[in-house]
DNA sequence: CTGAAAGCGCTTACAG
DNA sequence: CTGAAAGCGCTTACAG
């Protein structure tokens, strides 16, 4: 038995006994179709196992109905909740999401944007630090997710207030009685703002800021190395605010290596409320940057921008909140 | 200044002073093009910022040059290395990858396959447990990555030998002197084979298998709960082989909660060699299932299948190897 | 609602 | 290599 060729819209029309135009209307959920005919078309689609061709629809309609999302690296899981919120907000509008990971693409020396431009994505979501090398077409709608060092002219920005979150986390440690609180920072706009929030809170309390910058990556590895350096230079540190949850995990490792009880002898706070922070092993006090809500707001910004390309860029800022778990307590004897 | 319309292949041809056909040849890297003309075309492309339309190329060429990869869940990071190996193997052949996450899609009640079928993907890679509800077209090339409970007729399978890996890990614990070794298992084909490998090794050593199945998920949570159950039912257990690294992380959490030193009082072995296992905090002894190599073999199977759709299905099995880190040692006093 | 027509931006095959 | 032609499977706009 030879494989039949894939069914086209003509086959569906013939099977349903309607015109090709009517099938197209049903596919795009037009209201001006009688229930009976709609039913006939849907049955024909089911029977023929028909799937409309993206390529043809995109080419003919002049619109791919796809939004490109650029993320940093699959390993840093903050994007998962962002995608969930984004997908929820876009699927009702019939828009789909394509994800591109910069780390993976760097490997094969291909610009993730090239693929998206060939796909003719309707808009771009940047959930990563933009770089000069990203040549974004002037008329491309862009929403930046998260705080970034580089500004994209005309782009909307949706982020939680990293300065306020870091301030809140630092004040939590201060209120527990800590005075020697170190901070682990990294590269990028979010790190910068978190650092500023930490410094503001320390200054307001009349305390010295102890900032360690172990590198631009904000990973378990840099968190580990940064904590080693912090505890070597300032041995009487009693608390650490890490730049994100991955760095906090490294801090916990360094503490264990020095036989420092957490939180008895060293308190540790993360940032992002990633799945990692919620594990039984970490039970990490962290700042929830509301990633799923950021995704929802990104979707809203996207839809309104698509509806009105000329509207002024907006900047949405969400208020983060501290999640207290088991890695923070009053300072012990040290 | 109004935005110019996107450049098309006609614009490139005109700018380069060549025919449209020649531009198409350059785009598809044909060898029958003189260097001078190729250069002229590439300059025109650069100057016009031209990006060929996927949709048009796919429709006209009758081929999307895209492979669809279905993964379980972004949170389980074993897929990252798989994608890397896969991408390396496919990019030279001009094939790109589209990834779909089942967990995310379940959320909006859309079958990930539907999207891929509309995209007219050339082939499917299943890096997840297949289900009956996946209606895969009969003529679609499929490669299954990893050991799965359900067989797909005609599909190639690339996996590491989970039975051998689990056996190796168990023998490692036996050779350290452990006799009471528990195993944490979950759902799916990989879990099943790992369990069998563990049971074989225990039987061969004349020991009783202690298997705990805390649920079908293989997460930190089930690892934690499974270890609680194991240590309650068999309090003198001295070692645990977890179904994967996430479960091992949960085991470490449960051990800490009971004040059991790892590895002094309890040895723990993971599986997958995920990024998690390599962290300073875990330093987990684990089995490397060679995910990047699996990705490379999947790519090879895909290319040969595309070249010869009629060839017999193959089954590639890689030999995993144990990575010893800091969570295993000889049993202590208990 | 139908039906005929044009067109989206490419690839393919072919005569020259 | 060029150039003219057909066609991929849809959407769109329109006359009826």
pLDDT at B247 over 60: yes
- Contact A279/B250, CB-based, under 8 Å? yes
**In this structure, is the CB of residue B173 within 7 Å of any atom belonging to strand D?**
no
Cis peptide before B188 (omega within 30 of 0): no
| pLDDT, tens digit, 9 for 90 and up, residues A56-88 | 999 999 999 999 999 988 877 888 899 999 999
The answer to whether residue B120 sits within a structural domain is yes
Looking at the structure, tell me whether residues B167 and B279 fall in a common domain: yes
The two beta strands, B267-269 and B239-242, are parallel
User: B94-105: buried (b, 16+ CB within 10 Å) or exposed (e) per residue?
Assistant: ebbbbbbbbebb
- Find which nucleotide's C1' atom is closest to A19's CA: C2
Looking at the structure, tell me whether residues B156 and B173 fall in a common domain: no
Q: Using 50, 70 and 90 to split pLDDT, how confident is the model at B103?
A: confident
The answer to whether residue A191 sits within a structural domain is yes
Q: Using 50, 70 and 90 to split pLDDT, how confident is the model at B56?
A: very high
Q: Is A166 helix (H, G, I), strand (E, B) or coil?
A: helix
Q: Using 50, 70 and 90 to split pLDDT, how confident is the model at B192?
A: very high
The answer to whether residue B328 sits within a structural domain is no
pLDDT at A193 over 80: yes
| Of B136 and A250, more confident | A250
Q: Rounded to whole angstroms, how far apart are CA atoms A311 and B294?
A: 48
The answer to whether residue B179 sits within a structural domain is yes
pLDDT at B2 over 70: no
Q: Rounded to whole angstroms, how far apart are CA atoms A241 and B276?
A: 22
Q: Rounded to whole angstroms, how far apart are CA atoms B326 and B282?
A: 8
Q: Which residues touch strand C (CB under 7 A)?
A: A 18-22, 32-34, 36-37, 56, 59-60, 62; B 5-6, 8-10, 20-21, 23-24, 27-28, 50, 52-53, 56-57, 59-63
The answer to whether residue A206 sits within a structural domain is yes
Chain B hits for A224, Cβ within 8 Å: 280
Residue with tokens 């590491």: B160
| pLDDT, tens digit, 9 for 90 and up, residues A206-265 | 999 999 999 999 999 999 999 999 999 999 999 999 999 999 999 999 999 999 999 999
Q: What per-residue confidence (pLDDT) applies to B151?
A: 93
Q: Is A259 helix (H, G, I), strand (E, B) or coil?
A: coil
A12, A45 contact by CB (below 8 A): yes
Q: Rounded to whole angstroms, how far apart are CA atoms B334 and B332?
A: 6
Give percent above pLDDT 90 in chain B: 74
Q: What per-residue confidence (pLDDT) applies to A134?
A: 86
CATH number, domain with residue A309: 3.40.50.2300
- Find which nucleotide's C1' atom is closest to A13's CA: C2
- Contact B107/A84, CB-based, under 8 Å? yes
Give whole-number Cα distances, A159 to A36, A82, A208, in Å: 47, 11, 28
Q: Using 50, 70 and 90 to split pLDDT, how confident is the model at B3?
A: very low
In chain B, which residues from 23 to 42 place their CB closer than 7 Å to nucleic acid strand D? 32-34, 36-37
B151, B136 contact by CB (below 8 A): no
Looking at the structure, tell me whether residues A145 and A83 fall in a common domain: yes
Q: Rounded to whole angstroms, how far apart are CA atoms B166 and B163?
A: 5
Q: Rounded to whole angstroms, how far apart are CA atoms B331 and B329?
A: 6
A280, B254 contact by CB (below 8 A): yes
Chain B hits for A6, Cβ within 8 Å: 120
- Contact A87/B99, CB-based, under 8 Å? no
Q: Rounded to whole angstroms, how far apart are CA atoms A92 and A283?
A: 36
Looking at the structure, tell me whether residues B38 and B78 fall in a common domain: no
Looking at the structure, tell me whether residues A36 and A89 fall in a common domain: no
Per the structure, the complete domain to which residue A152 belongs is given by 64-160+291-318
Looking at the structure, tell me whether residues B180 and B217 fall in a common domain: yes
User: Around B287, how many Cα atoms within 13 Å sit in the side-chain half-sphere?
Assistant: 29
- Contact A51/B118, CB-based, under 8 Å? yes
Q: Which bases of strand D have any atom within 7 Å of the beta carbon of a protein residue?
A: 1-14
Q: What is the DSSP string of A82-130?
A: HHHHHHHHHHTTT-EEEEEEHHHHHHTT--HHHHHHHHT-SEEEEES--
Of the candidates A251, A245, A266, the one whose C-alpha atom is nearest the C-alpha of residue A180 is A266
Identify the DSSP state of A173. Answer: H
| pLDDT, tens digit, 9 for 90 and up, residues B207-242 | 999 999 999 999 999 999 999 999 999 999 999 999
Q: What per-residue confidence (pLDDT) applies to B34?
A: 83
The answer to whether residue B57 sits within a structural domain is no
Distance from the Cα of A59 to chain B's closest Cα (Å) equals 6
The answer to whether residue B325 sits within a structural domain is no
Looking at the structure, tell me whether residues A68 and A153 fall in a common domain: yes
Q: What per-residue confidence (pLDDT) applies to B167?
A: 98
Give whole-number Cα distances, A328 to A111, A225, A325, in Å: 42, 21, 7
Which range has the worst mean pLDDT, A202-211, B27-36, B37-46, B176-185? B27-36
Residue with tokens 């999207």: B115
Of the candidates A262, A243, A244, A264, the one whose C-alpha atom is nearest the C-alpha of residue A253 is A262
In chain B, which residues from 84 to 143 place their CB closer than 7 Å to nucleic acid strand D? none
Total number of domains in chain B: 3
Strand partners, A143: A125, A156
Q: Which residue is nearest nucleotide D6, judged by alpha carbon to C1' distance?
A: B60
The two beta strands, B181-184 and A66-71, are unpaired
Looking at the structure, tell me whether residues B78 and B154 fall in a common domain: yes
Arithmetic mean of pLDDT over chain B: 92
User: In a 10 Å sphere around its CB, with 0-12 CB exposed, 13-18 middle and 19+ buried, how is residue B149 labelled?
Assistant: middle
Residue with tokens 């997958």: B272
Looking at the structure, tell me whether residues B280 and B167 fall in a common domain: yes
Q: Rounded to whole angstroms, how far apart are CA atoms B298 and B88?
A: 11
Q: What is the dihedral of CA A208, A209, A212, A213, to 10 degrees?
A: -140
Looking at the structure, tell me whether residues B175 and B203 fall in a common domain: yes
Residues near B43 by beta carbon (within 8 Å), at least 6 away in sequence: B16
Chain B hits for A118, Cβ within 8 Å: 51-54
Q: Is A124 helix (H, G, I), strand (E, B) or coil?
A: strand
A62 C-beta neighbours (distance < 10 Å), count: 9
The answer to whether residue A325 sits within a structural domain is no
A276, A256 contact by CB (below 8 A): no
User: Positive or negative, the Cα torsion across A60, A154, A306, A141?
Assistant: positive
Cis peptide before B263 (omega within 30 of 0): yes
Looking at the structure, tell me whether residues A143 and A172 fall in a common domain: no
CA-to-C1' span, A53 to C16 (A) = 36
Residues near B4 by beta carbon (within 8 Å), at least 6 away in sequence: none
In chain B, which residues from 217 to 276 place their CB closer than 7 Å to nucleic acid strand D? none
Q: Rounded to whole angstroms, how far apart are CA atoms A16 and B161?
A: 50
Q: Using 50, 70 and 90 to split pLDDT, how confident is the model at B157?
A: very high
CATH number, domain with residue A14: 1.10.260.40
Query: C-alpha angle with apex B179: B174 to B183, nearest 5 degrees?
Result: 85
Looking at the structure, tell me whether residues A128 and A202 fall in a common domain: no
- Of the candidates A59, A91, A281, the beta carbon closest to that of B249 is on A281
Of the candidates A257, A243, A178, the one whose C-alpha atom is nearest the C-alpha of residue A215 is A243
Which 3-state string (H, E, C) describes B22-83? HHHHHHCCCCCCCHHHHHHHHHHHHHHCCCCCHHHHHHHHCCCCEEEEEECCCCCCHHHHHH
Q: What per-residue confidence (pLDDT) applies to A2?
A: 38
Q: Provide φ and ψ at B194, rounded to 5°.
A: -65, -40
| Of B21 and B178, more confident | B178
Chain centroid offset of residue A8 CA: 38
């Amino acid at each position: 038995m030879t494989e039949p060729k894939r069914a086209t819209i003509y086959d569906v029309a013939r099977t349903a006994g309607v015109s090709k135009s009517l099938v197209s209307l049903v596919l795009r959920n037009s209201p001006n179709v009688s229930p009976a005919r709609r039913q006939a078309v849907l049955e024909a689609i089911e029977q023929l196992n028909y799937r409309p061709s993206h390529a043809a629809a995109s080419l003919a309609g002049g619109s791919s109905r796809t939004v490109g999302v650029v993320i940093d690296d699959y390993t840093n899981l903050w994007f998962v909740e962002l995608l969930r919120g984004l997908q929820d907000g876009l699927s009702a509008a019939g828009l789909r999401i394509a994800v591109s990971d910069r780390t993976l693409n760097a490997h094969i020396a291909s610009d993730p944007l090239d693929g998206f431009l060939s796909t003719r994505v309707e808009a771009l979501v940047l959930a990563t630090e933009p770089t000069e090398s990203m040549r974004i077409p002037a008329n491309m709608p862009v929403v930046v997710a998260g705080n970034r060092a580089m500004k994209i002219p005309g782009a909307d920005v949706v982020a939680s207030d990293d300065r306020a979150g870091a301030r809140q986390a630092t004040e939590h440690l201060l209120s527990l009685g800590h005075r020697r609180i170190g901070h682990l920072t990294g590269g990028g706009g979010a790190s910068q703002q978190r650092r500023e929030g930490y410094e503001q809170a320390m200054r307001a309390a009349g305390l010295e800021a102890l900032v360690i910058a172990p590198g631009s990556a904000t990973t378990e590895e840099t968190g580990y190395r940064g904590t080693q350096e912090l505890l070597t230079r300032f041995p009487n540190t009693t608390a650490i605010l890490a730049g994100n949850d991955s760095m906090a995990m490294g801090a916990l490792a360094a503490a264990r290596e020095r036989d420092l009880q957490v939180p008895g002898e060293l308190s540790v706070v993360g940032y992002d409320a990633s799945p990692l922070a919620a594990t039984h092993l970490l039970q990490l006090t962290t700042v929830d940057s509301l990633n799923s809500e950021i995704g929802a707001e990104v979707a809203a910004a996207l839809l309104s921008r698509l509806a009105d390309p000329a509207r002024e860029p907006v900047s949405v800022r969400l208020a983060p909140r501290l999640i207290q778990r088991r890695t923070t307590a009053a300072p012990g004897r040290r």
